[in-house]
Amino acid sequence: MRIAVIGGYGPSLINFRGSMLRAMVEAGHEVYGLAPLDSSTVAEELARMGVKFVEAPIQRTGMNPLKDLSSLFALIKILQEIKPDTVLSYTIKPVIYGSIAAKIAGVKSIYSMITGLGYAFGQTSGKRGLLFKLVKSMYRAGLYFNKAVMFQNPDDRNLFVEQSIISNKKNTVITNGSGVDMKHFAKASVNTETPVFLCISRLLKEKGIHEFAQASLNLKIKYPDARFRLVGPHDHGPDSISEEQIRLWQSGGIECIGPVNDVRNELKNCTVYVLPSYREGTPRSVLEAMSTGRAIVTTDTAGCRETVLNGLNGYLVPVKDIPLLEEAMEKFILQPDLAESMGEASLSYAVKKYDVTKVNTTIMNTMGL
């Protein structure tokens, strides 16, 4: 079959969908990757996988009607030229415009993956409530044409049904995230002598970065030898953390590293992985940490709660609750052996539920591949 996979960010085709694309190629399918040209190396890296890259002018952020309409027309033209048998889209704009474009272009089998709900679903009232209503209606229009919709967690699926974005009769599948390559993110021994707490994320408020920083500052005062590392890019937008705030955290002893090309060294050198996000699809960074054998502290919210068996491989804390987040992190300082035993449990849980080969099998079976 000829398959077109549409994403909103070029490198994500490799970093997040690479193993899936390889599995499709290995199964004998002709695969195209459509995304903006965000990196000069994307086409070359995809070619090495046997995937053909096609530049698609999709605006990742913003709600400019003219630019979005231009993206829709461009996708229609590309799909009419490629003539795929099936289209799979992920992230908000590719799902909406990719699905509509595929229908107009005459594609018979259309699928989408909901990989997280993002900023638009953060509030349902006030100014952001207007954005929520707009995005909800756009999702409804795009997903109407889908043969099946894949979700990374059951909470997101239930929300889409409750909000009438999709019908309860729509074929839906839970994929358990995007999966994790257990060989690439291999088990590493845990250093429990000097506790190192790590958070890897775009620096956005809704990722719980403020909560991680405040809990870390409090613990740094009590335990000066403990280390707290915040790794990830400064993301410009309405939900971003200010650079001034980041400098203040650094002055308090938090190690703000910025983005890194390979997170494996960060995971290898940490004791506990922390992500106090407000909501996720399924957090990829948590799965990678679990695969390397790390205990997890995250929030009892959609997408995150599925990754932790509370008290077994880590701790779940309420969203925005700094005292309880601090308390959970402190347990690993007071009981150093917890990190090792819970890390082993994380690895076992990742093998059972999140191995990328199992996730890819679910996706390809859903698509009849």
Q: Which CATH fold would you assign to the domain 196-353?
A: Rossmann fold (3.40.50)
Domains 2-179+356-366 and 196-353 share a fold: yes
Separation of alpha carbons 277 and 208, rounded Å = 4
- 3-state secondary structure string across the chain: CEEEEECCCCCHHHHCCHHHHHHHHHCCCEEEEEECCCCCCHHHHHHHHCCEEEECCCCCCCCCHHHHHHHHHHHHHHHHHHCCCEEEEECHHHHHHHHHHHHHCCCCEEEEEECCCCHHHCCCCHHHHHHHHHHHHHHHHHHCCCCEEEECCHHHHHHHHHCCCCCCCCCEEECCCCCECCCCCCCCCCCCCCCEEEEECCCEHHHCHHHHHHHHHHHHHHCCCCEEEEECCCCCCCCECCHHHHHHHHHCCCEEEECCCCCHHHHHCCCEEEECCCCCCCCHHHHHHHHCCCEEEEECCCCCHHHCCECCCEEEECCCCHHHHHHHHHHHHHCCHHHHHHHHHHHHHHHHHCEHHHHHHHHHHHCCC
What's the pLDDT band for 239 if we cut at 50, 70, 90?
Answer: confident
User: 175-200: per-residue pLDDT in tens?
Assistant: 988 899 999 999 999 988 899 999 99
- pLDDT tens for 8-31 read 999 999 988 999 999 999 999 999
pLDDT for the residue 19: 93
Confidence band of 126 (pLDDT split at 50, 70, 90): low
Q: Is the pLDDT of residue 369 over 70?
A: yes
Q: What is the pLDDT of residue 125?
A: 57
Report the top-level CATH class of 2-179+356-366: alpha beta
Closest CA to 51 of 36, 30, 82, 66: 30
Tokens of 138: 């756009």
Residues 276, 325 contacting (CB under 8 angstroms)? yes
Q: What percent of the chain has pLDDT over 70?
A: 96
Q: Per-domain residue ranges for the chain? A: 2-179+356-366, 196-353
